[in-house]
A and B are shown apart, each in its own frame.
Chain A
Amino acid sequence: MSLNAALFAGRVNFIAGFAAASGKTMLAKAILALLREKGLKCALISAGYEGGGREPAGAPALKMPSLEMPTFEVEKGEVFSTAANALPFLDCMPELIAGPVGSSALGPIVLARAERSGSAILAGPARSEALATLVEAARHLRGIDAVIIDGTLDRLTQISVLPDPQLYCAVRADRADCQQIAKRMATFYQLVHLPKWDASRAREGEALIFEGALSSATLEKHKSARDIPILIKDITRVFLRPDEIASLSARGRLFIQQEISFRGFVVALRDIEPEEFMFYLPHDVADSILSWNPYEHEEGSRFAQQAQAADIGRSARYKRGDV
């Protein structure tokens, strides 16, 4: 399966990544291009920003947009989140439509509509509740067909407050870090596919219920309860090591109350072929790759075969002896 507008239209789409520069903003722009081709209008919302987030307490708000702030070319009628101090630098004739909601280092966050095509600086609140308020306001705006959130992985907790979000994970890997990235993908995949707790089993004492975060330390505290299922609200509360997640998953002990709709990985590779990269992935993780780099030219490129990703995966697994 490759990217197409139908995946994103009418939905709240949250783009996560494992780190800064993992291609989240580029993926958001590619999705935007797909939706525009179909004549659909988007609301673009940023969840904080890379390397930033909230300003330290007492720090004066920055007066100029920083180079780190993602700049988008928006089209007339599209909606975006931005900061008060960025407004004079936008040339898309912004019309302010909601806010202020939360704050960033560039001042309070507002929702604006581009009255003409031009550049926009994206900024968003780091606080989950503020992000939820923005998204809620954006998705109900007349003429908006999809919401795209340029998110982060380290603040994935934000997704838990969003209305029916679809989660995408942008991944960038090269020859040097491909094995490590593959492991992270596998762990992430395990997390987003944790089984949902069956409420009918929820008799008193049948599960360890964690309202807050599940960390290695909390797990250690409850090590005597080795075989009791662990129940968490959603995957954003899990702060365990990969080996702990793998161990709990393998023993069928970890459950969630609230599922997150994970739609797949979008993987940009450098100096490594898809076939080789997929060799490091468990087959179910490889199958969840939704698309390769959306900026690869489809015809005549070395990834011309990307549409047959599943075949490549099968081939890799065959070599490995999985099938």
Chain B
Amino acid sequence: MKKPLPVPPHVLSFSQADSLFARLAPLSPYGKERVAEIGFFTDFEALESFYDDIEAAGAALDSLEHSARRDKLFWHLSRLTRIPESLAGTSGNSAPGSSGAANFSASNSAAKKISASSPSNADAWGLMELFLVKKFLVHYKGIFELLDDEARTRFGFFFSTQELLDVLSAGGSDAESFSISERHEPALAAVRARIARLSETALERRRKLQEAARTAYGIDFAGREMLILPVDKALDAMGKGRLGQGPLLAADPYDSRSMMIRLVPDTELLEAEEARRKARDEEKLLEQAAIVRLSALVVAAKDALQSYCRAVKRFDYSLAQWKLAQELGMVRPRLRARGTACIQCHGARFIPLEEECRERGVAYMPLDFELDTPVGILSGSNMGGKTCVLQTLVFLQLLAQCGMFVPAAAFETVVFGWIDVIGAAGESRGRGLSAYGFEIRRLIEVLHAAKNEPGFAVFDEFAHTTSAKEAQALMQAAVEQLASLSGTVALFATHIECSLPEGKGTAYRMAGLDSERARSIIESTPAQSERSLDALLAQINSLMQYKVIRTGKASAHAKSDALAVARLLGLDKDLVDRAQELLAESDTRRAPPAQDKQKERGAE
């Protein structure tokens, strides 16, 4: 499997795909780790395998007929702990080399912390590492038992460490908890019994001393380790203690009028405590020996544990993908072999925009689109949705090549070697480049990449910051060159008129503004500027037909409805009328005079 590529930040930002990645909610630490490894895959087989995993995870869930069993599966996944990194060895296994990929999850830092504090070999292991392994095994086994054979085989689940689990389960009062018990080290029983006796002796002795202090001095410690007494009372009690009339007291000054007193342990108490300390040292050695033995057993099962972690990672991640796909109505993409230029979608939804529309109470129109030539040019009204078309396509392509299902009724595409966005607003430029300079740099990169490997590039209002004439020439040249490169697909959203190479390009336009209705609204409501922006946008939204129309013309150019949209946005009527006048004059100048036309016809 080829390593995934990191998703370029500007592509991520343009497509807002990270907002969807962030909604993936695996339950186990390994599933969460996998989310952080999301990257752009260029391997056809790998992508198909990811899609198969998602479907298999869904089938595994469906096979659990009762919701209680499903809840149990989710519970086990959420309770499963991360075992020491030296055992798990999962990092990067399912998506290696993704260090440059965006970090979508906070779980990574937690993983590092545990890993940093975990020993690299079993000699340095302690109680916590064994606790983690036991808890992991308990829940792993729970997941394993809930899955059917098909899912087990698909994701690599097996369970061959019952013996280890039994040994670890010998310590702890419930399935998850862990302590070193006498069953781990039989010699502990005698030592612990001795410690218990000595503890009881010490406790009893302390009680007696406290009782004696109460009787002799009228001082009640009531379970507290020290007391604050007025100096005279403290000194009186200490004096009595020295005379043997009660237990000995130790005192420290508290302030100028009071002292802090403690009971001085007597010989019996000291002896009991010393004997307990020695027994505790013995116990510590025995516990350490047990820990070393148990750790060796765990290390011996390292291969199995690594496989468990990989299986959980793959299954939990795929299950999260399945759940998201169900929630958002996502489907499996259909992939075509590389080299063909074809992207086709039906009912495609750009989820961030769809949700924004829902929040704003305006209609959202899913996208139907088909591009089967190397270059496509999309023109149309201002605010007519051209950029959203590009965003939707990049969004879907990115999800598909990250191994995810896509929000559409159907999506068929090619596995590209790279994906890029040129001219997107909001990209940070830096290094002294102007917006134009930055676009040119990106174009150079895209052309260079396209010569090496077919990719998918979208151009959003390319060259719009330079003079119209030069922009047109530059774009024409770029279109011609991109059309000549095999396998690369480029889609331009533009207002610039451009000729398309024969058989290599397709022109599209947005259905755009419903001119009749727009005119009637503009004429009937002259005070557009007094309306709130939200109201104006809602109105434009209702007048726009967010639909892509394949024009079939060799030359791509559609009207922009710029003046009507400006009016709908509240621009002063006189200003718009004057612009309309100028536009009409310019059109008249450009059109050949009627006599000339007749001459032309006669010549023909």
In the complex with contacts A97-B176, A116-B195, A295-B227 CB distance below 8 A:
yes
B177's partner among A73, A97, A270 (CB-CB below 8 A) is A97
**Residues 166-197 of B contacting A (Cβ, < 8 Å):** 171-174, 176-179, 192, 195-196
Residue-wise, chain A 228-268 has the 8 Å CB interface mask toward B (1 for contact) of: 00000000000000000000000000000000000000000
A96 and B131 form a contact (CB under 8 A): yes
Any A CB within 8 A of the CB of B563: no
* Chain A residues, Cβ within 8 Å of B128: 84, 87, 96, 99-100, 107-108, 110
Chain A residue nearest in CB terms to B173: A95
Report the minimum CB–CB distance from B237 to chain A (whole Å).
Answer: 10
**Residues 296-319 of A contacting B (Cβ, < 8 Å):** 296-302
Any A CB within 8 A of the CB of B597: no
Residue-wise, chain B 227-260 has the 8 Å CB interface mask toward A (1 for contact) of: 1111001000000000000000000001111101
* Chain B residues, Cβ within 8 Å of A103: 113, 117
Any B CB within 8 A of the CB of A1: no
Q: Could you tell me the distance between the alpha carbons of A36 and B224 in the complex, rounded to whole angstroms?
A: 11
B258 and A301 form a contact (CB under 8 A): yes
Q: Could you tell me the distance between the alpha carbons of A30 and B228 in the complex, rounded to whole angstroms?
A: 13
* Chain B residues, Cβ within 8 Å of A100: 81, 114, 128, 132
Report the minimum CB–CB distance from B192 to chain A (whole Å).
Answer: 8
* Chain A residues, Cβ within 8 Å of B289: none
* Chain B residues, Cβ within 8 Å of A108: 113-114, 117, 128
B126 and A88 form a contact (CB under 8 A): yes
Any A CB within 8 A of the CB of B562: no
Residues of B in contact, count (CB < 8 Å) = 45
In the complex with contacts A94-B179, A113-B177, A271-B256 CB distance below 8 A:
yes
Any B CB within 8 A of the CB of A117: yes
Say which one of B214-222, B426-434, B541-549 lies at the interface with A: B214-222
Residue-wise, chain A 82-115 has the 8 Å CB interface mask toward B (1 for contact) of: 0011011001011111111001000110100101
Report the minimum CB–CB distance from A90 to chain B (whole Å).
Answer: 9
A33 and B223 form a contact (CB under 8 A): yes
Q: Could you tell me the distance between the alpha carbons of A225 and B140 in the complex, rounded to whole angstroms?
A: 58
A296's partner among B132, B228, B288 (CB-CB below 8 A) is B228
B203 and A61 form a contact (CB under 8 A): no
A30 and B224 form a contact (CB under 8 A): yes
Any A CB within 8 A of the CB of B337: no
Report the minimum CB–CB distance from A31 to chain B (whole Å).
Answer: 11
* Chain B residues, Cβ within 8 Å of A211: none
A61's partner among B116, B219, B228 (CB-CB below 8 A) is B116
Residue-wise, chain A 40-63 has the 8 Å CB interface mask toward B (1 for contact) of: 000000000000000000001100
* Chain B residues, Cβ within 8 Å of A196: none
In the complex with contacts A91-B280, A117-B199, A302-B258, A96-B220 CB distance below 8 A:
no
A36 and B223 form a contact (CB under 8 A): yes
Residue-wise, chain B 391-414 has the 8 Å CB interface mask toward A (1 for contact) of: 000000000000000000000000
Any A CB within 8 A of the CB of B225: yes
B230's partner among A87, A115, A271, A302 (CB-CB below 8 A) is A302
Any A CB within 8 A of the CB of B226: yes
In the complex with contacts A95-B178, A108-B128, A271-B228 CB distance below 8 A:
no
* Chain B residues, Cβ within 8 Å of A91: 280
In the complex with contacts A97-B177, A296-B228, A270-B284 CB distance below 8 A:
no
Chain A residue nearest in CB terms to B276: A91
Any A CB within 8 A of the CB of B127: yes
B199's partner among A95, A118, A294, A297 (CB-CB below 8 A) is A118
Report the minimum CB–CB distance from B174 to chain A (whole Å).
Answer: 8
A299's partner among B113, B173, B218 (CB-CB below 8 A) is B218
Q: Could you tell me the distance between the alpha carbons of A93 and B173 in the complex, rounded to whole angstroms?
A: 13
Report the minimum CB–CB distance from B271 to chain A (whole Å).
Answer: 17
Any B CB within 8 A of the CB of A174: yes
Report the minimum CB–CB distance from B562 to chain A (whole Å).
Answer: 35
Residue-wise, chain B 126-155 has the 8 Å CB interface mask toward A (1 for contact) of: 111001100000000000000000000000
Chain A residue nearest in CB terms to B124: A63
B114 and A96 form a contact (CB under 8 A): no
A300's partner among B172, B218, B223 (CB-CB below 8 A) is B218
Report the minimum CB–CB distance from A220 to chain B (whole Å).
Answer: 31
Q: Could you tell me the distance between the alpha carbons of A299 and B214 in the complex, rounded to whole angstroms?
A: 11
Report the minimum CB–CB distance from B199 to chain A (whole Å).
Answer: 6
B233's partner among A36, A115, A269, A301 (CB-CB below 8 A) is A301
Q: Could you tell me the distance between the alpha carbons of A30 and B229 in the complex, rounded to whole angstroms?
A: 16
Any B CB within 8 A of the CB of A293: yes
B131 and A270 form a contact (CB under 8 A): no
In the complex with contacts A33-B224, A270-B255, A300-B233, A93-B131 CB distance below 8 A:
no
* Chain A residues, Cβ within 8 Å of B177: 95-97, 113
A271 and B173 form a contact (CB under 8 A): no
Q: Could you tell me the distance between the alpha carbons of A271 and B222 in the complex, rounded to whole angstroms?
A: 25
Chain A residue nearest in CB terms to B131: A96
**Residues 13-43 of A contacting B (Cβ, < 8 Å):** 29-30, 33-34, 36-37
* Chain B residues, Cβ within 8 Å of A174: 255
* Chain B residues, Cβ within 8 Å of A30: 224
Tell which of A91, A117, A269, A298 has the most Cβ of chain B within 10 Å.
A91
* Chain A residues, Cβ within 8 Å of B280: 91
Chain A residue nearest in CB terms to B202: A117
* Chain A residues, Cβ within 8 Å of B225: 29, 73
> B residues engaging A (CB < 8 A)?
81, 113-114, 116-117, 126-128, 131-132, 171-174, 176-179, 192, 195-196, 199, 203, 218-220, 222-230, 233, 254-258, 260, 280, 284, 288
By Cβ-Cβ distance, the 10 closest A-B pairs, closest first, are: A33-B223, A95-B179, A270-B255, A96-B131, A107-B117, A84-B128, A271-B255, A97-B177, A87-B127, A103-B113
**CB<8 Å pairs between A and B, sample of 7:** A33-B224, A60-B116, A88-B288, A91-B280, A99-B128, A100-B132, A271-B255
Supplied contacts A95-B171, A100-B132, A118-B199, 9 more A-B pairs, CB within 8 Å:
A84-B126, A88-B127, A88-B284, A93-B179, A96-B127, A96-B131, A100-B114, A110-B128, A295-B260
